[in-house]
Structure 1
Amino acid sequence: MSRTFKALLLSSAALTSSLGAAAEADDLESRIAALEAMVSELKSELAATRAGHEEIVRVQPVAAHPEAAPPPPTDGFRVGDTTLKFGGFVDADVHVTSLSDGAISGSSIARDFYIPGATPIGGNGTTSTDFTAESTRFFLAASRPVGDKTLSAHIEMDFLGSGQGNELVSNSYSPRLRRAFMKYGNWLVGQEWSTFQNTSAIPESASFLILSDGMVFVRQPQIRYTHGNWMFAVENPNTTTLNSGSRDENLIPDVVARYNMSGEFGNVSIAGIARQLRADFGTVEDETFGYGLSVSGRLNVGDTDDIRFNLVGGDGIGRYVGLAASRSTALDPNGELEAVPSFGGLIGWRHAFGETARFSGGYSGLFIDNPDYLADTVTSSVQSVFGAILWDVAPNVTLGTELMHGLREVESGVDGSITRFTFSTKYAF
């Protein structure tokens, strides 16, 4: 209550008491008039006070409420309105490789990981030990809002297959491009895993890649559109032949369609590919049609285990399977291209034990139906098995040991084998 009203009440009480005490001495009407004059004066004072307060409020500057700044990214860092993320891993491996026949050149990428078609046949067996960090990898990812969507990009490199360095002094190796693509809305443009491949089917291993015999494994430039569970893509074409080299005279890109299913069970993909297989030999050119079908995925078993698988087959799928252990076509005696049929697959089991350790193992194979007119030295099948123990010794630090055995057979029935032990140390960041 304001002091003005308190004064009014006190004055009223005092006046009432005074009237009661001196009612006979003074004229009641004159005192009532005096009281009315006092109330009128107090009203005027109250109105003046209120007007002054309203004027102060009117001229007081209103505090601005600036728009809240967007929160900092939880993954990466911001430069302007672009969020950048840098990551990868350092991977140091030791391989001890035993070959039943022949040798693999020290500069070959097959010394760093298992390439089924590179297993030699014929000659004396050899054993070698290699230390390497060439599978070390790094990437840079960027994203920014554009309209009501996000534009993102990804660049990824490692050092495998470099022709720059050697083991004489510095072991210097140049980066190689793995992935480089942009995404906006449903569209992807650039070099990425082939839409024909489901990467979740790749088994975990201590080495760079395992069970590649019957695995769909390709990275290449493409344009991809994704709608719900469906993916559609046109991808870089290339026609490989068994007896006249690799041809690059295609006019029509490889076309891929894929349907993905996922849930608590894991994920399964069904993919189909259609290919123009074409070669131009100057005076003669020919083409044929290739196609393939793949079913692949990862199925959850219990709380921690999973089964990974890939089944694939078709005519002319060549370089898409087995790291090009076979080829897409053969040139028959009449100078015509013939698509080469093949089928294969893999199955892997990943089993966790303890808090940070797990076992990974499996089998893979590719079987090729070569035309009869080809030489007996052409690969007819490749198969492999492996087992690995992996242990997370610290956050993002994994130690792994692995033993694999591979077998390559040619049309004559002669075969050669590879046995490799790998010890790996990997730190992901």
Structure 2
Amino acid sequence: MSRTFKGFLLSSLAAGLAFGAQAEEASLEDRIAALEAMVSELKTELAEERVQKDDVVRIEQTVIAEEVDAPKPKTDGFLVGDTTLKFGGFIDADVHVTSLSDGAVAGSSIARDFYIPGATPIGGSETTFTDFTAEPSRFFLSASRPVGDKTLSAHIEMDFLGSGQGNELVSNSYSPRLRRAYMAYGNWLVGQEWSTFQNTSAIPESASFLALPDGMIFVRQPQIRYTRGNWMFAVENPNTTTLNAGARDENLIPDVVARYNLSGDFGNISFAGIARQLRADFGSSEEEVFGYGLSVSGRVMVGAKDDIRFNMVGGEGIGRYVGLAASRSTAVDLNGNLDAIPSYGGLIAWRHPFGKTARFSGGYSGLFIDNPSYLPMTVTSSVQSVFGAILWDVAPNVTLGTELMYGLREEESGADGSITRFTFSTKYAF
């Protein structure tokens, strides 16, 4: 019962008593007029109270409607507790038609799936073959959550290239292989990631898994990286490779990398340096030599849409960091000492969009190695390649591509072998 109504009852009771006491003095018309005045006042108060309640209800309904109709903020992924998870990757189905001038590549070799400069055979008969593969298909899972005033994030990524499990007899089953697996917090990154010595934006767009690797810095490996502004510093997994004593895994000091990045409307350019301890333990002796490398790489805009991608690198003992290990870091001389092998190379590629969703990508790459004279004449002295590709987005996230590449490997003796490969690819990214 409202206060207004209670007040009305009390007022009515008081008025009734007063009316009874003065019944003989007041006329009937006066009593009726007084009652009508009180009823009118009550109606006015009740109406005002109803209007106030209606306004409150209307405001609440409006707020609820706005909350329901308001667009929800977009999130990149989905929440599980306070952690944002994201799953993605792509399906990549490729057809390769390959012609080798001097030999063959085993059906189980990863060189059947993409161009590996050092695997081009020399000294055999010409062979041609066709491969269908979906092994480049890839998936990843990333996670992030707030920790204090920063974000803790993690990323794991796999594909199916180079699997030793599968074959083409019945099921074409292939095992996942680890590509990247790292965590990052603030300025720090720990885990397996692209080498800090490499600028991944310099990788040309291609229809195949990888184009122009000859003079390209291309390494993924475990590391600890610190980033501060434009600077990046890292210690990374060491490994000493030799041309005549196999791969040695006896390093004590990690590879040390420093890199400086410039970016803007022009694109980006990176300057990087690497220092390496190259060490081998032969039991009777422990040998080591210093290795180093310098690089400039990036992607620069040309006009409104075109870009030039480039990578220049040189040094002594950089071996596996360049050309997919087309050369090695060291050689063991006749006295059992280690020599760091000098090499230099690079790539340049042009990307030109045309039409609504199509683009052309093409370029050249080369690596040149200064091998010691005591090595056999069959060691690789250079690898080079050119390619051209046309890619077309036929639907959102669906890309068709065709590519033609030519590669040449030459030995110190002057003998050489070449590879010509046509690729057709269909890729759906999700």
Do residues 173 (structure 1) and 174 (structure 2) align? yes
Contact 1:73 1:83 in 2 (8 A): no
- 1:247 paired residue number: 248
Other structure's SS at 1:306 match: strand
SS at match of 1:110: helix
Unaligned stretches of 5+ residues in structure 2: 5-40, 50-59
Percent of aligned pairs with the same amino acid: 85
Query: Structure 1, residues 373-422: CA drift from partner, whole Å, max 9, x if none?
Result: 00000000000000001000000000000000000000000000000000
Equivalent residue, structure 1, for 2:190:
189
- 1:240-287 per-position Cα deviation (integer Å, ceiling 9, x unaligned): 000000000000000000000000000000000000000001111100
Q: Quote the residue 1:322 is aligned against.
A: 323
Summarize deviations over 1:83-109 as a string: whole Å, max 9, x none: 000000000000000000010000000
User: 1:425 maps to which residue?
Assistant: 426
> Larger C-alpha radius of gyration, 1 or 2?
1
1:207 equivalent in alignment to 2:211: no
What residue is the counterpart of 2:55 in the other structure? none
Partner of 1:344: 345
Q: Give the gaps of 5 or more residues in structure 1.
A: 4-44, 54-62
TM-score (norm 1): 0.84
Give distance in 1, aligned partners of 2:377 and 2:130.
32
Match of 2:153 in 1: 152
* TM superposition shift of 1:73: 4.9
Other-structure match for 1:40 = none
The 3-state SS of whatever aligns with 2:253 is: coil
CA RMSD of aligned residues (A): 2.3
CA distance in 1, matches of 2:105, 2:124: 11
Q: Who is 1:26 aligned against?
A: none
Preserved contact between residue 72 and residue 78 of structure 1 (Cα < 8 Å): no
Paired AA for residue 83 in structure 1: T
- In 2, the alpha carbon distance for the partners of 1:425 and 1:151 equals 35
TM-score for both structures, normalised by structure 2: 0.84
How far, CA to CA, are the matches of 2:229 and 2:413 in structure 1?
48
Measured in 1, the distance between the counterparts of 2:285 and 2:421 equals: 45
Partner Cα separation in structure 1 for residue 73 and residue 234 of structure 2: 35
Q: Distance in 2 between matches of 1:74 and 1:95?
A: 39
Superposition pairs for residues 361-400 of structure 1, below 5 Å? 361-400=362-401
In structure 2, C-alpha distance between the alignment counterparts of 1:160 and 1:269, rounded to whole Å: 29
Asked if 1:218 corresponds to 2:214, the answer is: no
1:231 maps to: 232
**Cα distance, 1:123 vs structure 2:** 1.0
Structure 1 segments, 4+ long, off by >6 Å, are none
CA distance in 1, matches of 2:115, 2:166: 21
Residues in 1 aligned to 2:409 and 2:126: alpha-carbon distance in whole angstroms: 14
Aligned counterpart, 2:406: 405
Provide Cα deviations, 1:48-73, integer angstroms capped at 9, x if missing partner: x9xxx9xxxxxxxxx9x9xx9xx665
Match of 2:311 in 1: 310
Aligned to 1:84: 85
Task: Determine the C-alpha separation between the residues in 2 that align with 1:118 and 1:72.
Answer: 50
Q: Which amino acid aligns with 1:329?
A: T
SS at 2:373 equivalent: coil
CA contact (8 A) 1:273 1:291 kept: yes
Number of residue pairs the alignment of both structures matches = 374
CA distance in 1, matches of 2:118, 2:285: 29
Give, in whole Å, the separation in 1 of the partners of 2:153 and 2:274.
27
> Distance in 2 between the 1:314 and 1:280 partners?
23
SS at match of 2:111: helix
State the AA in 2 paired with 1:394: A
